[in-house]
Amino acid sequence: MASLSGKDTLLKLIRDGQPLSFQQRLSLTVTLSLPAILANASAVVMQFIDAAMVGQLGADDSASVGLMGATSWLFEGVLSAFAAGYAVQVAHLLGAKRNADARQLVRQAIVVCLIFSLLMAGLGLALCGPLPVWLGAEPHIRGNATLYFGTFMLFVPFFMLDIMASSLLRSSGNMRIPSALNILMCVLDVVFNFFLIFPTREITVFGQAMIMPGAGLGVVGAALGTASAGLVISMLMMYYLVFRSRELKLTTDRGSFKPAWEPFKKSIKISSPMGLQHIMMCTALIVITGIVAPLGSIALATNSFGITAESLCYMSGYGIADAATTLVGQSLGARRESLARSFAWISVLSGMVIMGLLATLMFTFVTELMGLMSPVPEVVELGARCLRVEAWAEPLFAASIIGYGVFVGAGYTLAPCGINLVCLWVVRLGLSALLVKSMGLYGVWMAMAIELCVRGLIYLLWLNSKRWMRTVID
């Protein structure tokens, strides 16, 4: 009998077609989820500290960063979707015990993903100037918004390497290394920001005054801090993938880095709906930013800080979704549909409970959370109102987050992408445009809460069907 603490042994049971008890399935889900949840938690802490650092510069600088937030997320999401096309195939190959084929696919993924990231970086640099104008930003914050986004785009190839290597390692069941390195990235980001954002100043440590050096780069320093941390971690992540990963290290055998057509075609089939969805979803969020921007810097800063605070709830959902993608992917690769379905429901229901509990904490301490990020009373008060209405939607938001991870693990991406797009563009955008006229930013957040509930209910209904359980490995 396999030990419940033996993650690798339990994963081997999946690949070998051996039975797993409910306790073993739950143990494996928790074991794979926890490192990803911890990494997401550290990322949220990083976002809080980043927001607090930039918030000390004033509402205008916070607004310039918040203005470009949705667009930065758009590019990151497209990179993640592209990498997922290869990571899902690797999970299926490992589930089928075709490890040599999986390593060959890793080689091809490195080349293809790097080429794609260079194209995306060029596109982003071309857009960084006109984008703040298109979003309707006030003239005095456009310059910093352009500098922030342009600096971020220069480092896109390194972000791509980090995302790709992390996705491939997770597909093999290795959650620990990607999570640990992403936690380190958060620490480095805070350290770099501390020295890059603020000028040289006098601080007091344990009652003693001392001079703390600083570059005084403000908003650009925030972008450089994040980018520099990403550069360091991308190199470490690639080193582990290429030289240390037990299943995927490329020194195990020889192979070609020349991309092959069939894996690329399968990758596009998986990632295209995900990428298109993310583009359309982020475009919708950019449109929402455009709806919020005319309300002024207070509303823009509040919206940005509110999104950061809300991430306290959904960080656990995305961690569980990562585990669900791996478990469902390897189960279907081993042709074990009933096991994949079991992992899907264990993941979704546990995520709904956890995010519901976190939403309760957020509702209770929302004023304190907003106060940590901004000293502006108007921002704190408005942010607290918005987050309290959104907290009610978090359990059903969990169903959509983790359900999507389940479908990605199955290589079933078209239908869930359609669900997400219809809900966001029809429900959230329509209600936002309607409610902002009479309720301001609070109306935009109420529209968000309603849309998340609708989307979560649809995901639960779709998950209950068996249409999503198919493989992409011949």
pLDDT for 194-222, tens place per residue?
899 888 887 777 777 888 888 888 888 88
Distances (CA, A) of 74 to 181, 277, 286, 303, 419: 23, 10, 9, 17, 18
Residue 470 placed within a domain: no
Residue 469 placed within a domain: no
Lowest mean pLDDT among 147-156, 411-420, 442-451: 411-420
Give the Cα separation of 136 and 296 in Å (integer). Answer: 10
Residue 1 placed within a domain: no
Residue 471 placed within a domain: no
Residue that wins the pLDDT comparison between 312 and 455 = 455
**Mean pLDDT along residues 273-281:** 82
Q: Which domain holds residue 12?
A: 7-464
The 10s digit of each residue's pLDDT in 359-396 is 999 999 989 888 877 778 888 899 899 999 999 999 99
Residue 48 placed within a domain: yes
Residue 139 placed within a domain: yes
Residue 150 placed within a domain: yes
Residue 205 placed within a domain: yes
Instruction: Centre a 10 Å sphere on the Cβ of residue 119 and count the other Cβ atoms it contains.
Output: 10
DSSP assignment of 295-350 equals G-HHHHHHHHHHHHHHHHHHHHHHHHHHHHHHHHHHHHHTT-HHHHHHHHHHHHHH
Query: Shortest CA distance to 416 belongs to which of 348, 342, 315?
Result: 348
Give the Cα separation of 331 and 114 in Å (integer). Answer: 29
The answer, yes or no, to whether residue 41 has pLDDT greater than 50, is yes
Confidence (pLDDT) at 62: 75
Instruction: Centre a 10 Å sphere on the Cβ of residue 327 and count the other Cβ atoms it contains.
Output: 31
Confidence (pLDDT) at 70: 66
Please report which confidence band the pLDDT of residue 407 belongs to, taking 50, 70 and 90 as the band edges: very high
Give the mean pLDDT of the chain.
Answer: 87
Give the Cα separation of 185 and 190 in Å (integer). Answer: 9
3-state secondary structure 266-297: HHHHHHHHHHHHHHHHHHHHHHHHHHHHHHCH
Please report which confidence band the pLDDT of residue 4 belongs to, taking 50, 70 and 90 as the band edges: very low
**Mean pLDDT along residues 237-264:** 94
DSSP assignment of 338-402 equals HHHHHHHHHHHHHHHHHHHHHHHHHHHTHHHHHHHH---HHHHHHHHHHHHHHHTTHHHHHHHHH
Please report which confidence band the pLDDT of residue 44 belongs to, taking 50, 70 and 90 as the band edges: low
Please report which confidence band the pLDDT of residue 37 belongs to, taking 50, 70 and 90 as the band edges: confident
Please report which confidence band the pLDDT of residue 53 belongs to, taking 50, 70 and 90 as the band edges: confident
The answer, yes or no, to whether residue 459 has pLDDT greater than 70, is yes
The answer, yes or no, to whether residue 457 has pLDDT greater than 90, is yes
Strand partners of residue 400: none
DSSP 128: T
Length of the chain: 474
Give the Cα separation of 259 and 261 in Å (integer). Answer: 7
Helices (H), 96-175: 99-127, 131-134, 139-154, 156-171
Measured in degrees and rounded to the nearest 5, phi and psi for residue 211 equal: -90, 125
- Number of helical (H) and strand (E) elements in the chain, helices listed first: 18, 2
The answer, yes or no, to whether residue 150 has pLDDT greater than 50, is yes
The 10s digit of each residue's pLDDT in 151-181 is 989 999 999 999 999 999 999 989 899 989 9
What is the total count of domains within the chain?
A: 1
